[in-house]
Amino acid sequence: MSRRLSARKRILLVEIPVLAILAFALAPFLWMLLTSVKPTSDLSVFPVRYWPSRFTLEHYAMLLQRTSFAGNLLNSFIIACGAVLVGLVTSVPAAYAFSRFRFGGRRLLMTGFLVINMFPIVLLIIPLFVLMRNLGLIDTFIGVIIGHSTFSIPFSIWMLVSYFNAIPRELDEAATIDGASRLQTIRLVILPLVMPGLVTTAIYVFITSWNEYLFAMMLSGQTVRPVTVALQLFIGEFTVQWGLLTAGGALIALPVAILFLLVQRRIVGGLTSGAVKA
Amino acid sequence: MNHATVRAATPYGFLLPALVLTALVILYPVVQTVWYSVQDYILYAPDDARFVGFRNYAAALRDEVFWISLGHSAVWVGGIVFAQLALGLATALLLNQSFWWRGLARALVIIPWALPSVIIGLMWTWIYDYNTGVLNDILIRMGVISQPFPWLASPATALGCVMLALVWQGFPFFAVMILAGLQTVPRELYEAAEIDGATAFRQFVHITAPGIAGIVATAVLLRIIWVANSLDVILVMTGGGPGYATHTLPLYAFLRAYSGMEFGSAAALALLLTVMLLAIVWLYVTRQARELDA
Amino acid sequence: MTKGTKGPDGSRLKPAEIGTLGRRTFLQLAGASALAGGLARPAHAQAQTTVRWWYHYDNPQNTPAALVAQFEAANPGIKIQAEAIPWGGGTDYINRMFSSVVAGNQPDCAMVRLSYLSRFAQMKALEPLDGMLAKWDAKSDISDDVWKLNRAPDGKQYYMPLHYVVIYLYYRQDLFEQAGLQPPKTFDEFLGAAKALTKDGMFGYGMRGGAGAHDNWGPFVLGGGGSFEKGGLLTEKALAANRWFIELATKHKVVPPSAPTDAFRQIVDSFKAGRTGMTIHHIGSAAEVVGALGDKASAVPLPRAADGGGWTYFGDESNAIFSASKNKEAAFRWISFLSSGEANVEQAKLSGQLPITTSGVKSWTGHPKRFVDASFASLPIARTLPDSVKTPDFVGRVLPTNMQRALTGEINPDDLMKAVDQLFNG
């Protein structure tokens, strides 16, 4: 909504509610951050100790120096980027086809993509493991990337279809009348308009892959171990390494937040009002 | 090949990469799992597996725990998706307003969604802890309660407490999806409404809501499927307990599959959930098809 | 290095196995033939044998790298590829292992638990070690009792004991002294002490009703006369023992209200925070407890029933060699290295548990002495859970779920016993 609110009204109606929502979103995270800079002896005490008795970065130092966490972060980054790439390259054409063509089996295929995704992955994991093993993809980046991008394909297609549908078809027709080929229309007219949806979908695939544990646990070994699996190593049978775990949590969440800070303009800036007038 | 054939084949060509990948990676395990569901397949005794027809399904329907879990699944999906949507919608509308720290707020709000489930589960378990949890401590300090309360160990509160953690984790998803959806609503419509003197509420009802309805509906549908199948946070926080208090269908299927290694029964349990979700999807698809294909 | 009989495609086949070629073996064969190309390498590659070993340690900072280096220096030609697998409450580790066996991608050897022995045996996944053990000179450094505990129902030895823990009773020395109490030796004294310590928001006994509940339930119910034989949990004596145990929470209220879902972390944290006076765990948490409470905390064996009966859980950890391994000799050298002498002591330090060797235990300084003593004093009543394919389901689902329902009053305590009996004997 473009209406400009007066400064007081804006603070009251927008900024204070946003602060309240942020407080809800961040409180558990801040509690985690605070825990990550406490010495271990502050953790299980009664009554609860809110402020650390002293601030310490020892958990972070330990995490980065004595465990393989930095390498695991890099692995996660490679896997998530790969999943976004493979996911979008396969989903965008599919979503375009569902949105712009009418063809036999369209509804069936679209539903099919969803149905196949409705089964809990935990129960698929053993056949999946056997399959990946026979393809020789265990403990390879390709294996994990293919898995993660495939799990996100149904979602990506469906989400992108609704973003494509939101763009008036008259635009395609106008471009075709102007003599543009189909690929030119997609590249020059549709993709720029669907950019917010594209970026949003990319974020979804990235975050889903970044957080995925079960498949990565089964499919990765020492070579491509991502952070979620590394993190699980801090939760032993008899001890939880709270310091390492919370420091790890902070280091996992921050790159995503920074990434989002960088791309969020894309989500809002993509659609120009001029284009819609056409 | 003539022009018409190429035209007819084009959409299938566009679909090919996604179809190939899905068929390659998911189709085989799904078919395999469906096949398990009609056998008395036990992972540690694979050679003894026999075809039993629909006996696993019949057993599930006679199982008291199946019905308890189904009820919890309904509460779980309904409650979480509704709360996530409400909170996510409010967040998206607010973050679509302009104020100087908007970019930062947008980046920060995504954090719960950016954390792995295992951390979320452990952090929230710790927050709810009877002795060393902050929730009891804060409530006692505020004078709301005089004794600590066992949030996760009481059958009456356990499910709600786990659901709150999931609402927290997932509302940024709706916020981001809807925020992107809001950008597709043409700005001119608001300008025109402004000139007509429409109130903010009327603008929302007549312009914003219809403008984002399609995307919200899709997001809700996808979220229902995701939430219905999600069990890692429950697993970390309560393991399904106390008793059956936080058993949902996938969790029950998981316990049967990995504790008992009864893959046949577990697959049948999960497939029953899939069939129910399928009904929701079919409702949606036929409704949507009427609008789109018209 | 002997390599076992090989089938024509390079996979290991015994004539007996060919007749019963089931789905599992078929999958393994399919996997093996897929690999066959990779295995048919020139001779020089065979000079180096790589042994894949899966392990889990609680502390991710502890790595077996030094042990591996030491072993490789003493055994040129063998390379150890050690891989940490997330424990994930036990489920992840086990799932990964069983999936690998199904897919034919299992390591050569791995850390394993007794409760899964029956399931492994049913899959014929493990290699009997008896032949190799007979030639192993350090075998006598591990006590006969331990070998007996680890023996499979078919009389063979599949497990190489590695380290262990025994469940005992942690108690607050200082509070016991203040109240003029002795550490409890019988169930009655235990209840008396728990009642005396329950005051001012503190509870006498930090009961574990969540994951791992069996190590709290067993001492009182199995120690009180229950057994897993048919009907053994349904005798009047067993039912009474179970009722008494559940009533600690429902009637006497000497356990925190959070007990139904409290798992090891909650019971240890509450004890460390001074919110419970006694709790049941093992030496694995001694370092943590001492770190928080110092000399205020000590440990004794679990109390016994009036008739002298007692039971405590023997927490085992062993190594096993998979029958599909092509490097069994090398794998045995590695796991026997880990279970002998200095290496076993080092290994126990990494895992935070007790060395398995008699010689290693004598000089053991990894934990304060009072906890080591309590562990040893508990050995006479230390037992394992039944050797049954149902045991993991008992531990992971049937006992915790039904015990929680009994604790929250949803079912009668006797129904819990019926459910467990049904699982094993139904």
Distance CA A29, CA C107 (A): 39
Task: Say how many CB pairs under 8 Å bridge A and B.
Answer: 310
Q: Which residue has the higher pLDDT, B168 or A9?
A: B168
Looking at residue B292, its pLDDT comes to: 53
Give B-chain residues touching C95 at CB under 8 angstroms. Answer: 258
Tell me the residue range of the domain where A224 lies.
Answer: 66-277
CB of A54 less than 8 A from some CB of B: no
Q: What is the CA radius of gyration of chain A?
A: 23
Q: Are A238 and C284 in contact (CB under 8 A)?
A: yes
Band (pLDDT 50/70/90 cuts) for residue A270 is very low
Residue-wise pLDDT for B41-90, tens only, equals 888 888 888 898 899 999 999 999 999 999 999 999 999 999 999 999 99
Looking at chain C, which residue has its C-alpha nearest residue A46?
C273
Looking at chain A, which residue has its C-alpha nearest residue C98?
A126
- CA of B280: how far to CAs of A115, A224, B22, B224, B283, in Å? 11, 38, 22, 9, 5
Nearest to C410 among B147, B155, B259 (CB): B155
**Amino acid letter, A153:** I
- CA angle (A177, A183, A184) in 5-degree steps: 55
Task: Say how many CB pairs under 8 Å bridge A and C.
Answer: 96
Which two three-digit tokens encode residue A47? 């009554």
Give B-chain residues touching A32 at CB under 8 angstroms. Answer: 119, 123
Band (pLDDT 50/70/90 cuts) for residue C372 is very high
Give C-chain residues touching B155 at CB under 8 angstroms. Answer: 408, 410
C15 pLDDT exceeds 50?
A: no
The CB-side HSE value for B238 (13 A sphere, CA atoms) comes to 32
Band (pLDDT 50/70/90 cuts) for residue A268 is low
Least confident window among B269-283, C30-44, C113-127: C30-44
In a domain, C8, yes or no: no
Rounded to 5 degrees, what are φ and ψ at C200?
50, 45
Distance from CA of B242 to the nearest CA of C (A): 5
Tokens 């009204």 correspond to A9
Band (pLDDT 50/70/90 cuts) for residue C3 is very low
C260 and C382, same domain (yes or no): yes
Nearest to B118 among A163, A231, A260 (CB): A231
CB of B155 less than 8 A from some CB of C: yes
Which two three-digit tokens encode residue C272? 């460390």
Give chain A's mean pLDDT: 85
C332 and C406, same domain (yes or no): no
In a domain, C291, yes or no: yes
Looking at chain C, which residue has its C-alpha nearest residue A62?
C61
For residue C321, the cross-strand partners are C109
CB of A47 less than 8 A from some CB of B: yes
Cα dihedral C243→C249→C255→C260 (10° resolution) = 100
Which two three-digit tokens encode residue C96? 């990964």
Residue-wise pLDDT for A159-201, tens only, equals 899 888 878 888 888 888 888 888 888 888 888 888 888 988 9
Alpha helices (H) in C40-116, listed in sequence order = 65-74, 91-103
In a domain, A162, yes or no: yes
Q: Which residue has the higher pLDDT, B95 or A277?
A: B95
Tokens 């419970």 correspond to C276
Maximum Cα–Cα distance for chain C, whole Å?
76
Nearest to C257 among B129, B130, B261 (CB): B130
Distance CA B135, CA B133 (A): 6
C25 pLDDT exceeds 50?
A: no
Distance CA B183, CA C243 (A): 63
Looking at residue B196, its pLDDT comes to: 86
Respond yes or no on whether ipTM tops 0.85. yes
Q: Are B118 and A249 in contact (CB under 8 A)?
A: no
C34 pLDDT exceeds 90?
A: no
In a domain, A184, yes or no: yes
Distance from CA of B40 to the nearest CA of A (A): 15
Q: Are C49 and C330 in contact (CB under 8 A)?
A: yes
Beta carbons of B258 and C91 less than 8 Å apart: yes
CB of B241 less than 8 A from some CB of C: yes
Give B-chain residues touching C86 at CB under 8 angstroms. Answer: none
Beta carbons of B242 and C261 less than 8 Å apart: yes
C30 and C108, same domain (yes or no): yes
Which two three-digit tokens encode residue C241? 């023992």
In a domain, C100, yes or no: yes
Nearest to B21 among A125, A150, A253 (CB): A150
C120 and C238, same domain (yes or no): no
Beta carbons of B259 and C393 less than 8 Å apart: yes
In a domain, C5, yes or no: no
Which two three-digit tokens encode residue A88? 């979008």
- CA of C171: how far to CAs of A168, C183, C197, C318, in Å? 73, 8, 11, 29
Beta carbons of C272 and A44 less than 8 Å apart: yes
Give A-chain residues touching B14 at CB under 8 angstroms. Answer: 93-94, 96-97, 101
Q: Are A141 and A83 in contact (CB under 8 A)?
A: no
Give chain B's mean pLDDT: 89
Tell me the residue range of the domain where C264 lies.
Answer: 166-314+371-425
Residue-wise pLDDT for A21-60, tens only, equals 999 999 999 999 998 999 888 877 778 888 888 898 999 9
In a domain, C9, yes or no: no
Q: Which chains contact B through at least 3 pairs of Cβ atoms less than 8 Å apart? A: A, C
**Amino acid letter, A245:** L
**Domain of residue C242, CATH code:** 3.40.190.10
Encode chain B (294 residues) as per-residue pLDDT tens digits: 567 787 788 889 999 999 999 988 888 888 988 999 999 988 888 888 889 889 999 999 999 999 999 999 999 999 999 999 999 999 999 998 888 888 889 889 989 998 888 889 989 998 999 988 899 999 999 999 988 999 999 999 999 999 999 999 999 999 988 988 888 777 788 888 888 888 888 888 888 888 888 889 888 998 999 999 988 899 889 989 899 999 999 999 999 988 888 989 999 999 999 889 888 888 887 877 666 554
CB of A149 less than 8 A from some CB of B: yes
C95 and C50, same domain (yes or no): yes
In a domain, C158, yes or no: yes
In a domain, A195, yes or no: yes
Least confident window among A122-126, B169-173, C18-22, C168-172: C18-22
**Domain of residue A169, CATH code:** 1.10.3720.10
Nearest to C61 among A44, A45, A66 (CB): A66
Distance from CA of B155 to the nearest CA of A (A): 24
In a domain, C7, yes or no: no
C181 and C310, same domain (yes or no): yes
C251 and C174, same domain (yes or no): yes
Which two three-digit tokens encode residue A23? 């407080």
Tokens 């069994």 correspond to C328
Looking at chain A, which residue has its C-alpha nearest residue B198?
A3
Looking at residue C161, its pLDDT comes to: 94
Q: Are B203 and B150 in contact (CB under 8 A)?
A: no
Looking at chain A, which residue has its C-alpha nearest residue B217?
A162
Give A-chain residues touching C58 at CB under 8 angstroms. Answer: 236-239
Give A-chain residues touching C27 at CB under 8 angstroms. Answer: 130
Beta carbons of C262 and B155 less than 8 Å apart: no
What stretches of C42-154 adopt beta strand conformation (E)?
Answer: 49-55, 78-84, 109-112
pTM of the model: 0.88
Band (pLDDT 50/70/90 cuts) for residue C47 is low
| Probe site for chain C from A237, A239, A245 (most C CB atoms < 10 A) | A237
Looking at chain A, which residue has its C-alpha nearest residue B286?
A107
Last residue of a domain, one of C347, C365, C383: C365
C357 and C382, same domain (yes or no): no
**Amino acid letter, C408:** T
Looking at residue A178, its pLDDT comes to: 84
Alpha helices (H) in A101-224, listed in sequence order = 106-115, 121-134, 141-165, 169-177, 182-185, 191-211, 214-219
Looking at residue C110, its pLDDT comes to: 96
Task: State how many domains chain A has.
Answer: 1
Give A-chain residues touching C59 at CB under 8 angstroms. Answer: 236, 239, 241
| Collapsed DSSP state (helix, strand, coil) of residue B234 | helix
Give A-chain residues touching C102 at CB under 8 angstroms. Answer: 126, 129-130
Q: What is the DSSP letter of C256?
A: -
- Most confident of the ranges A129-143, A158-172, C15-29, C323-337: C323-337
Looking at residue B1, its pLDDT comes to: 55
Nearest to B241 among C102, C119, C401 (CB): C401
Distance CA C68, CA C53 (A): 11
Task: State how many domains chain C has.
Answer: 2
In a domain, C121, yes or no: yes
Looking at residue C38, its pLDDT comes to: 38
Q: Are C332 and C134 in contact (CB under 8 A)?
A: no
Q: What is the DSSP letter of C164?
A: E
The full set of domains in chain B, from first to last, is 1-28 (no CATH), 38-293 (1.10.3720.10)
C246 and C340, same domain (yes or no): no
C51 and C97, same domain (yes or no): yes
Nearest to C61 among A40, A44, A62 (CB): A62
Least confident window among A247-261, C23-37, C238-252: C23-37
C39 pLDDT exceeds 80?
A: no
Which two three-digit tokens encode residue C16? 């007996």
Give A-chain residues touching B214 at CB under 8 angstroms. Answer: 162, 165-166
Distance from CA of B223 to the nearest CA of C (A): 26
In a domain, A81, yes or no: yes
Give B-chain residues touching A150 at CB under 8 angstroms. Answer: 21-22, 24-26
